[in-house]
Copies of this chain bind each other. A is one copy, B any other.
Amino acid sequence: MTVVTAEFTSADGPGSSALLTDQYELTMLSAALADGTWNRRCTFEVFARRLPGGRRYGVVAGTGRLLELLGRFRFGEEELAVAESFLDPDTVAWLRDYRFTGDIDGFPEGEFYFPGSPVLSVTGTFAECVVLETLVLSVLNHDSAIATAAARMVSAAGGRTLIEMGSRRTHEQAAVAASRAAYLAGFDFTSNLEAVRRYGLPGAGTSAHAFTLLHTGADGPDEKAAFRSQIAALGVGTTLLVDTYDITEGVANAVAVAGTGLGAVRIDSGELGVLAHQVRRQLDDLGATDTKVVVSGDLDEYSIAALRAEPVDVYGVGTSLVTGSGAPTAGMVYKLVEVDGLPVEKRSSHKESKGGAKRSVRVSRATGTIVEELVYPASIPVEDVVRGATASGLTARAVTVPLVRGGEIVDDAPTLEQGRDLLAAGLHALPWEGLGLSESEPAIPVRFVAGGQQSSAHSHPGGAQ
């Protein structure tokens, strides 16, 4: 039985997060504690070598969840029992007292990232940083993959309403995080009640085909009875699902029962573009001119874009959203880049990393359109980098913000709502080609600045992750 202390209890589900960790983090810890290297001051950096699927941007998501889980990264008796099964007593004792006391800097949620962007930097002793690798990557890789797919859908929807309804297509807890990531990216509603509870997201949902089928009696199907019942319970502003038997009859039944004040009808199957037109015309002919058309059923950013010219008011998106629309993981890595002030770099084939702790500045034209990202050594004051970038008439702003200082989350850590606003603004600041859905290059280049001087580009290092 899990022993839950009050300290570990939180809105993200109570309990320790410490075992959401690969075994090798703790065997490395054990060896480092024994040989004295454990307390070397290290920086680990999270970055992506490439954007999956030829995406033009990535969206950082999950940072808020990660900080919350970090507070519960503590080893209680149950976690220590697992550690004892393969670790020496000194390591187990160290874990018993574990609490992250270092610093974390990173991109706020809702910010774009590109290949090589230093999305998160974790600084402290080797020991206290290395054990966080798995949890950091699990959260950021999942949530960023969903938010990136969601942002493409938001952009493709061109201001129409989007409902996230993919819970049944992914792990039951991943579904809650996916709802959050979709909201961050600009989705309007979620079907997931735990996301409503945990993050205060707006919920949505009315009925499924089962409810219509339930209203089958000795005389056969009775769609009108189902519609009457739903309206009695949810009011005339509800959304009636009209495609259980025959869509044209379904729309006729819906308006016959609800009147022309019906909120919406939903179509969940068939060729949605054709059906949306047909249903819109039928609704208008029946006088239900304000009744909205909701479509769902295997939508992704491409089909959403393809429906932009059709009379669709609301998109319900499931499978493709929660599976990242072909890219279910962001492919970020967590790499040691600095030890005791010295940059370190791996040299194995196709997996080069750039040494040294780094920060980012985003450079824009006067119009607000971003033109490049400058990545600079953390040792350089950000003001110097901004000054150098703005000298040529461009504007620049720091992307990297402090998130944790001395193990404590900073007071002004970005919120989910701030992230949502940041991304909404960001989608207007991308170069126009950055909004394209086809496979292409990153929307802007990432340039590495060495000692104040701009140097090697790093946007396409290639190779496997």
Residues of B near A221 (CB, < 8 A) are 344
Residues of B near A20 (CB, < 8 A) are 167, 172-173, 175-176, 192-194
Given A14-B2, A350-B269, answer yes or no on A137-B168 (Cβ-Cβ < 8 Å).
yes
Residues 155-197 of A, flagged 1 when their CB comes within 8 A of B and 0 if not, give 0000000000101111111111100000000000001111011
Residue A27 CB within 8 A of the other chain: yes
Q: What number of copies of this chain does the assembly contain? A: 2
Residues of B near A214 (CB, < 8 A) are 32, 37, 40, 42, 126, 336, 339, 344
Chain B min CB distance to A406 (Å): 22
Residues 1-41 of A, flagged 1 when their CB comes within 8 A of B and 0 if not, give 11010000111011101011111111110111011010010
> Does B137 lie within 8 Å of A232, measured CB to CB?
no
Residues of B near A271 (CB, < 8 A) are 349
Given A44-B210, A213-B336, answer yes or no on A31-B270 (Cβ-Cβ < 8 Å).
no
Count of residues in A whose CB is under 8 Å from the partner chain? 119
Residues of B near A447 (CB, < 8 A) are none
A83, closest chain B residue (CB): B193
> Does A269 lie within 8 Å of B351, measured CB to CB?
yes
Chain B min CB distance to A447 (Å): 25
Residues of B near A207 (CB, < 8 A) are 24, 27-28, 31
Residues of B near A342 (CB, < 8 A) are 216
A209, closest chain B residue (CB): B346
Residues of B near A328 (CB, < 8 A) are 170, 323-324, 328
> Does B464 lie within 8 Å of A298, measured CB to CB?
yes
A351→B82 CA distance, assembly (Å)? 47
Chain B min CB distance to A233 (Å): 4
A22→B55 CA distance, assembly (Å)? 30
17 A-B residue pairs with Cβ-Cβ distance under 8 Å, sorted by A, are A4-B14, A19-B194, A20-B175, A20-B176, A21-B193, A23-B192, A23-B203, A24-B208, A28-B208, A28-B210, A141-B169, A209-B336, A213-B336, A214-B339, A243-B349, A269-B348, A319-B329
